Each structure stands twice: as structure tokens, then as C-alpha cells.
Structure 1
Amino acid sequence: MVKTPRIIVIGGGATGCGVARDLVLRGYETILIETGNLGSGTSSRSHGMLQSGARYAVTETTFAAECYRERNIISKIFPQAVKLIGGLFIRLANDPEDYLEKFIKCCEIAKIPVKEIRVKDVLNREKELNKNILKAFHVPDALVYPPKLFNLLAKEIKAYGGKILTNHKVVSIKLSNNLARSIQVSHNGIKTNIECDGIINAAGPWSKEVAKLIDQNVELQLTRGCGIFFKGQLVNQAINRCRIPNNNDIMCPSGKESLWGTTSEIVNDPETPSTRPDEINDLLLGAQELFPNIKNYKPFRTWSGVRPLVKPKKFNKNLPLPRSHLVIDHKETGLNNFLTICGGALTTHRLMAEDVVNKLGKKFDIDIACSSHKTPLLN
């Protein structure tokens, strides 16, 4: 009888949980290791958008198309964690005139439905919006609630026989004959060794630190983003600026709150510092362009998180760094059963998992098709 490979997944964010779910659905013995609680890193420090992809249609049309497909999949398999709120792209007088034509064309290429809405109708529903908007377009944006998502993913992983170890820090990885043989974790001061047949590094902004444990390299561009929560529901749907994705250009409803963001600053440390006063001021000034009365709503808390972006060797410096994901096979640097998955977004976490588990299967000559896109949540 062929032994089922035991795979350790390091990192319990959306990507790591998605990888663990994909593995158990394909029959792998799976252990998910997370330093803190599930989703306590980057995944829960965001605006929680389940992107239609329209935001990236002009700058990354292929990624935008992936977002829309994944938005539809996630909303079907995890409906309890999703709210289909819809979104608007708003053009103001100081937004570039040529962007609108590109936006509509690229959304069509990415198969993202876009519909122009009368400004009068928009203002009737969105009372706080700038009354001087020129154009408005509806897109199928949605929200995903991270706590609900992680709760559902954890139940699914365990239901199929997977193990989840939270508050366990990976302190070392033992190698032998170009293979990762075991890891050592620390929990409440007690160290434990766990044997394995393969490892998937899905630690997000901490992926580089995990890889360093075995003298491997993961090149990431870490960018810190922050935003503001306002009390009250200022908007009914996600409101985006109709321009190339930038700072200060999106407002999302979130229960009884509204979230405005975000900023982008290159950092070297994945540990997230507090939002600075100058960042809060910049956010408020940016919000005023879309919401002139924003200062009537008191910001009552801020958030910040670090995005682990893949930095291509060649890219247009006038555009934002791409959000597409990358699977790194460390076989090229002498380690045959260690993969790193990085980049991507909360919306595409399932697709990222499918990609890395497909590549893992080839290492073990296991040809089991992915079913995470069509397997609904277990009752």
C-alpha cells in the first residue's frame, strides 16, 4: 500500500488555510502550522474585499479575470462568509480622461460585467458622495468576512482529517539528502519535532524568514498599507476611484462601520507598526475628495497590514506592483520537497492553493485533480 504523503503547511492566513483545504480534499495527510491564530496576519488586516477584478482591469487584465472567476467560486462554496454588495467606480473631474475608455475595454476582455449608472440614481442611494461626480459604473464587487471565512476553512480542514496547530512557531527545519525531513515547533516553551514528506511555505510576509531557516531565499517586496474605520455606514457598496489603483481610492461598508483606504509604503519588516499621524491626515484629505463631509464622521480606529508582493525583474515603475502570485520550487536551489507560494490576494487564495498543490503532486507522482472550486462547505 502506497503511503499517503504527510505535508506541512506553514502559515495560517487565507493562502495557508486554502492550501491545507486543497490538500485534504485530495487526500494528503495535512498539518497546518500557524504562529498565532488563524488569519491573525495580513489576511485580517485589509478592507475584506472579494474583488470583482475591475480595480486591476487596466493594469493587470489577466489577474483581474482571475479575481472575477474566484469571486464567483468563493461566493458559491462559502456563501456564509460573503456579502454581494456590488461596487461603483466613480469618475471625478481630476481623474484622467483616457482611463475610462481603457477601463471599459479591459473589463470586457477580463469578462467582468460593467454597467454605467445614472449619476442621479447613484446620488439618491449614496448620500455622502461628492455631488460633482461625472460618471459612475457598477461592478460586481463583494465583501468577505475574514473571521467567518477562517472558521469555515478550519472546520473543512478538520472534517477531512487535517490537523491545525495554532500558536506554534516553527523554529527549525531538519534536512537530509536534499529533502526537508521534519520541523521543530515551539508552543508555550515546549519544543516538538514533526516529521514530514514535504513542506509548503505559505507564511505571507514572513515567507522569507521561514525560508532562511534552511538557507533558502524568497525575494518579496513588502508594502505596508493602512486605513481608517469610521463609525456608521457611509456607503452601501464599495466605492472606487476610476483611475489606476493608488492610495486613498476605496471606501467599503463593513457592518456598522465604513473603511477608507489605503496607503502603500515599502517596508523591510513584516511586523506591522501602528498607523502614523501623518498617514491618518493623508487618508482624511484623500477621503474628502469623494466624501466632502467625511470630517463629520469621527475615525475611531485604524488598521495596517503588510502585503507580500512579488517584485518582477522587469516592471513599469509608473504602475503599481503586480498582485499576481508566484510558486517558488526550491528544487532549483537544492531542496526537492519544499515549495513557497507568495503574492496574490485574499480573493485569489483558493487559486493560489490549487496552483501550488498541483506542483507538489508532480513531485510525488500524484495525479489527483483539484476539487476545491466545486466542493461546497460540509454541513
Structure 2
Amino acid sequence: MDTTVLVIGGGATGAGTARDLAMRGVDVALVERGDFAGGTSGRSHGLLHSGARYVPGDREGAEECIAENRVLKRIAPHCVSDTGGLFVQVSGDDPEFFEEKRAACEELGIGTEELSAEQAREEVPDLADDVERALRVPDAVIHPTRLTVANAADAREHGATLLPNTEVRDLLVEDGTVRGAVVDDGSGERELRAEHVVNATGAWAGELAAMAGVEMEMAPSSGVMVAVEYDGLDTVLNRARPAADGDIVVPHDEQVVLGTTSVDVDDPDEFERDDREIDRMFEECGAMLSGLDPDRIDRVYWGVRPLYSADRERHAGRQISRGFYLLDHDERDGVSGFSSIVGGKLTTYRAMAEATADHVAERVGREGECSTAEEPLVGHDAPGRIDELVAEFEANNPADSDVIGSP
């Protein structure tokens, strides 16, 4: 089998890239070693950022988030719960940070409204006693399995070939050019040749790049998420302080997801999972929301952030940029026919895919502009269709397993 572009990695960014290219008329194949969204995407907390989390320190990241927040609410309403969000100031938190965040949001056009403790409790009666005030922002909840499958299925409707549960054993490198990959779907190895290969494997991008003889420094960090049975919260909660452990509570239908930690890891498949991180989620998130019960844990899972850094010693953990990087390995490493998209956030997956598709389309000599910000994703107008597609692909991921299939 031959194709024009081979996208490796079936998370949100890889599936979004395949969709974008297919919509431009490019022959594309999408390969994923497991289920769609089975890596970082499907092991996230599922917060659709408004950008408020990243100000005042990261203006560019905030601008990317609010722009994509608005796009995804429009093109993927069946993958989003538009809950809104609150940044809450707890006793002992720096009030100047709250004011700086509000001012930065207003400067960037991120809508805000300050609520007194009493007003905030009218909306969230179970706010902890030490909550002093809150800032309303346009955060939301995104269900990553639905989102990723919708992108993959949309790519298929535009002619893409989907190959989940297919592992890349090696890259085909001939005379300094990547010509495709050796893949195995369980029935034996075969070659899949392509004019251009996109590395969209997230935290595993360095391992794939090494198959092409390319050194790429990734700096993955793990974070725990704890899903707890909890009925009645319908607003995202964020702590109004600099990013730290246990400062996000994401509501689902009858649960909340508590997150998260940030621990540097060397291997995104093999790393220590410390139960003390679970205890920390209850301690820290409990400062925002009362009634969290460790006896009502439904599931615990760790995700690995696909962070990129050329100097891990100087930039580690929460200090690494959450922006994304498109690496042209021809210009960077002298290896043609090969590009990597690394870093970023689930919220900005579509923008990452657009940047990648723009670059790749030019490399393979294809015309056509991006239309993914205007065209709604498959299933947006057919209730239940997206969960039928999730079932078709047998995608089962912990980030939203309690939501998939619910009425």
C-alpha cells in the first residue's frame, strides 16, 4: 500500500492532521499503535481551556487557547460540554495574582466576571468554606475520545485510510529521505510507503524520530487524574494561583475528575505511579470543593504530557512551554520527507494540525487551504452518532469512559 502522506499517531493532533490533509484532497493514511486517543489525548483531564490558566505568564498560549476554544464549541458541540469555569481564590492565595489574571484576561478578550463568595456559592453550593471570591471564565469540558474519533471518522469520509492497532516497527530511510514505515497490524510486517511522514506521536515522538536517525529531545511529564463519583458540579473549577498540583476539578455527568501532578519521566510507557499523588489530589482539590470522598473513587489514571525541550535541565516540568513546535527535519537535521509536531495541548490540537497540514501540503506540492475551523466535525448533527463511531473503533479511554454512551 502506498500513500502521499503517512501520519503516525492517532491522538487528537494526528487525527486532526489526517482530517485537514484529507479535506484538502491529499491521499493520507493514519496509523495508531493502539486505539484512537489511547495515548495522551485519552488520558487527559479533558479541560477545554479558555486561556485564563496561562495568563499573565503566557500571553501567546492564552491567545491560542481562547481562539481554539471558540472554534471547537462551534465545530464540535457533540464533543464539548459548555460548562463555563471559575477561578477560585482560597484563603491564603495571593489576591494580586487574581487581579493580574483578571486584567490579563480582559486585555486578551477572554470574558470574565468577578463573583463574591456568596455569588459563587449560589452557582456551586459545595464550594469549600475558605473560598473568598471567584472569576467566571469561558472554560468548558471536552471529551477527548469523542473528539479524536470524530476527527478520524471525518478524515475517513474525505478519503483517508485509517489503521488503528497498527504498530510502526521501523521507518524506511533511503539516501537521507524517509520513504514510509514498516508497520504491523498483528498479521505480519509490511511496508507502507509515502512521500512524506508526519510524526504526531506526542510523548513518544523522540522514539519515532530515532528510527530516522534524528535526535529530538522530549521532556515528558506524568500527571495523575482521579475520577470520583460526585453529583451536582456543573462548572469547571480552577485554583487562582500559579500552576501547581491539584488545581483543576473537571465535572462530568455524575463524577468529577481531579487533576493533576507534574513529574518528569524518562519513559512515557514505564514510569512510577505513586499513590501519594492520589492523596494529594483530594487534599488540594478539596480546598476548592467540599465533599470529595476517597471511598468513591471510580478510576485513577496517569497521562504523560508531550512536552518538548532542547534543554531539559534548564526547563523542566511546569516551566516548559505548553506551546507547540513544528519541526522540519530536512532543515533541522538533513533528513527529508519527515516532520514532527510536538508539545501543545488538547485545546490547541486543531491549530497544531492546521500548521502541520500547511507545511506538509507545501512539501508534497498540493494546493488547498485549511477549512477545519469552519466545517463541523462528523456527527455534530446526528445525536448518538459519535458514540456509535467510538464503539465501531472500540476506543475506550479513561478520560471520558463514564460519559461515552450516556444519554
Q: Verify same fold: TM over 0.5.
A: yes
**Residue 371 (structure 1) aligned with residue 366 (structure 2):** no
Deviates more, 1:289-298 or 1:256-265: 289-298
Q: Deviations over 1:185-244 (max 9, x none)?
A: 012141111111000000011111111111112211110000211112352200110011
Q: Please state how far the C-alpha of 1:292 moved relative to its aligned partner.
A: 4.1
SS at match of 1:300: strand
- Rounded Cα–Cα distance in structure 1 between residues aligned with 2:50 and 2:335: 37
Tell me the residue number matched to 2:195.
197
Tell me the residue number matched to 1:359.
359
Tell me the residue number matched to 1:180.
178
SS at match of 1:37: coil
The one-letter amino acid of 2:99's match is E
Tell me the residue number matched to 1:160.
158
Can you give the 5+ residue segments of structure 1 that lack an aligned partner in the other structure?
A: none
Which one of the candidate residues 96, 99, 118 is aligned to 2:97? 99
The one-letter amino acid of 1:324's match is G
Tell me the residue number matched to 1:343.
343
Q: Deviations over 1:15-69 (max 9, x none)?
A: 1001101110111100000000100111011111111111112221111111111
Which one of the candidate residues 145, 148, 159 is aligned to 1:150? 148
Tell me the residue number matched to 2:324.
325
Contact 1:59 1:244 survives alignment (8 Å): no
The one-letter amino acid of 1:351's match is A
- Aligned-residue CA RMSD (Å): 2.0
The one-letter amino acid of 1:363's match is R
SS at match of 1:259: strand
**Residue 304 (structure 1) aligned with residue 313 (structure 2):** no
The one-letter amino acid of 1:219's match is E
Identity of aligned residues (%): 30
- Rounded Cα–Cα distance in structure 1 between residues aligned with 2:202 and 2:311: 20
SS at match of 2:220: strand
Q: Please state how far the C-alpha of 1:10 moved relative to its aligned partner.
A: 0.3
The one-letter amino acid of 2:339's match is L
- Rounded Cα–Cα distance in structure 1 between residues aligned with 2:20 and 2:47: 22
Contact 1:245 1:320 survives alignment (8 Å): no
- Rounded Cα–Cα distance in structure 2 between residues aligned with 1:93 and 1:147: 37
The one-letter amino acid of 2:174's match is S
**Residue 58 (structure 1) aligned with residue 56 (structure 2):** yes
Which one of the candidate residues 231, 234, 237 is aligned to 2:235? 237
Q: Deviations over 1:66-96 (max 9, x none)?
A: 1111011111111111110000000012112
Compared with structure 1, are the counterparts of its residues 188 and 364 closer, same or farther at alpha carbon in structure 2 (3 Å cutoff)?
closer
Tell me the residue number matched to 1:81.
79
Q: Please state how far the C-alpha of 1:370 moved relative to its aligned partner.
A: 1.1
Contact 1:273 1:304 survives alignment (8 Å): no
Compared with structure 1, are the counterparts of its residues 317 and 338 closer, same or farther at alpha carbon in structure 2 (3 Å cutoff)?
closer
SS at match of 2:287: helix
TM-score, normalised via structure 1 length: 0.94
Which one of the candidate residues 109, 115, 118 is aligned to 1:117? 115
Can you give the 5+ residue segments of structure 2 that lack an aligned partner in the other structure?
A: 380-407
Compared with structure 1, are the counterparts of its residues 367 and 86 closer, same or farther at alpha carbon in structure 2 (3 Å cutoff)?
same
Contact 2:236 2:248 survives alignment (8 Å): yes
- Rounded Cα–Cα distance in structure 1 between residues aligned with 2:319 and 2:231: 29
TM-score, normalised via structure 2 length: 0.88
The one-letter amino acid of 2:211's match is L
Compared with structure 1, are the counterparts of its residues 273 and 302 closer, same or farther at alpha carbon in structure 2 (3 Å cutoff)?
farther
- Rounded Cα–Cα distance in structure 2 between residues aligned with 1:296 and 1:101: 34
Compared with structure 1, are the counterparts of its residues 220 and 296 closer, same or farther at alpha carbon in structure 2 (3 Å cutoff)?
closer
Compared with structure 1, are the counterparts of its residues 321 and 12 closer, same or farther at alpha carbon in structure 2 (3 Å cutoff)?
same
The one-letter amino acid of 1:327's match is L
Q: Deviations over 1:349-374 (max 9, x none)?
A: 00001111112233234342211111
**Residue 130 (structure 1) aligned with residue 152 (structure 2):** no
Compared with structure 1, are the counterparts of its residues 364 and 318 closer, same or farther at alpha carbon in structure 2 (3 Å cutoff)?
closer
Tell me the residue number matched to 2:281.
283
Alignment: residue pair count: 376
Contact 1:275 1:302 survives alignment (8 Å): no
Q: Please state how far the C-alpha of 1:319 moved relative to its aligned partner.
A: 6.1
The one-letter amino acid of 1:167's match is N
- Rounded Cα–Cα distance in structure 2 between residues aligned with 1:268 and 1:296: 30
Compared with structure 1, are the counterparts of its residues 319 and 148 closer, same or farther at alpha carbon in structure 2 (3 Å cutoff)?
closer
- Rounded Cα–Cα distance in structure 1 between residues aligned with 2:67 and 2:307: 21
Contact 1:225 1:263 survives alignment (8 Å): yes
SS at match of 1:309: coil
The one-letter amino acid of 2:199's match is N
- Rounded Cα–Cα distance in structure 1 between residues aligned with 2:371 and 2:365: 18
